[in-house]
């Protein structure tokens, strides 16, 4: 049975609600995970999404900043919201989705701190926060609930492009936040220690460039193509063989009033 999940940093769900609805109408993933929703829970446009079939939601929002949400066609249970680094901002939400084929999957949806502009822990508290956040994420293990028959998927804007082919220029971005060695090594260690499988790089060979974000500052983002792969879909090892397709919807960056991130969708056959 088919099952699909999309991750998308929407950069304000209320501002871009028409884009989300268009995407859901046309692509119709089973689950959509949003980041940077930028609104408190009571202002989230739940009604509009329920009308088009996404009746199940787990939302963790706050006014004006951050915010994550899971929208699902299938029931969600055991929803959780974790705080990291002792800061109660809305950067994580989790739930178990009752997927087709009697599959139960724990979904983790993250918005990792961007880290500011200066890649120096001592001079930049935002960068220190980012590194500490990734460090605390090591407590998550993809196999944590396998004894209970629950697989795992971790998605979100992790704000790190780990591979040389995840950025438009490895050499020019080595000292730019999101691709510095300390960040990429921390993310890779977190992935490995948690037994997570990078599904994008399972489907697209590591030697090929893949981008999911293009800066608003670029005058012609499509021509210059100075992108980065900041958005990720990881899973427990048991789900990787069921992956049938993975799509980075590049065209969404060219939509009217777009997010600077584009939707990434993984499709499975159970």
Q: Which domains does the chain have, with CATH numbers?
A: 2-269 (3.60.10.10)
Does pTM top 0.85 for this prediction? yes
pLDDT at position 84, please? Answer: 96
pLDDT at position 269, please? Answer: 96
pLDDT category, 184, cuts 50, 70, 90? very high
Look up residue 167 and give its DSSP letter: B
User: For the chain, what is the largest distance between any 2 Cα atoms, rounded to a whole number of angstroms?
Assistant: 51
Residue 247 scores a pLDDT above 90: yes
Least confident of 53-62, 100-109, 136-145: 100-109
pLDDT category, 100, cuts 50, 70, 90? confident
Residue 129 scores a pLDDT above 90: yes
Q: 185-190 long-range CB contacts below 8 Å, 24 or more apart?
A: 186/131, 186/134, 186/135, 186/160, 187/134, 187/158, 187/160, 187/162, 188/162, 189/138, 190/134, 190/135, 190/137, 190/138
Please state the rounded mean pLDDT for residues 64-74: 97
CA 67, CA 56: separation in Å to the nearest integer? 17
């Amino acid at each position: 049975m088919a099952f699909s999940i999309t991750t998308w940093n929407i950069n304000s769900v209320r501002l871009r609600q028409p884009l989300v609805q268009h995407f859901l109408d046309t692509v119709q993933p089973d689950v959509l995970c949003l980041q940077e929703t930028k609104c408190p829970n009571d202002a989230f446009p739940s009604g509009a999404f329920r009308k088009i079939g996404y009746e199940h939601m787990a939302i963790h929002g706050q006014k004006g900043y951050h915010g994550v949400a899971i929208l699902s066609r299938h029931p969600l249970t055991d929803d959780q919201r974790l705080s990291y680094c002792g800061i109660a901002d809305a950067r994580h939400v989790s739930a178990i989705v009752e997927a087709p084929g009697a599959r139960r999957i724990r979904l983790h949806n993250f918005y990792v701190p961007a880290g500011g502009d200066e890649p120096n822990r001592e001079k930049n508290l935002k960068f220190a926060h980012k590194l500490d956040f990734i460090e605390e994420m090591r407590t998550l293990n993809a196999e944590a609930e396998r004894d209970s028959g629950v697989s795992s998927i971790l998605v979100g804007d992790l704000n790190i492009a780990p591979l040389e082919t995840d950025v438009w220029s490895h050499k020019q971005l080595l000292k730019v936040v999101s691709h510095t060695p300390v960040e990429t090594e921390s993310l890779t260690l977190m992935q490995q220690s948690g037994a997570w499988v990078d599904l994008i790089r399972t489907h697209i060979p590591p030697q090929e460039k893949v981008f999911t974000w293009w800066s608003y500052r670029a005058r012609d983002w499509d021509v210059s193509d100075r992108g980065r792969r900041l958005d990720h879909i990881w899973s427990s090892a048991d789900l990787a063989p069921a992956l049938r397709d993975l799509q980075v919807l590049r065209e969404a960056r060219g939509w009217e009033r777009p997010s600077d991130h584009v939707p990434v969708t993984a499709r499975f056959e159970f």
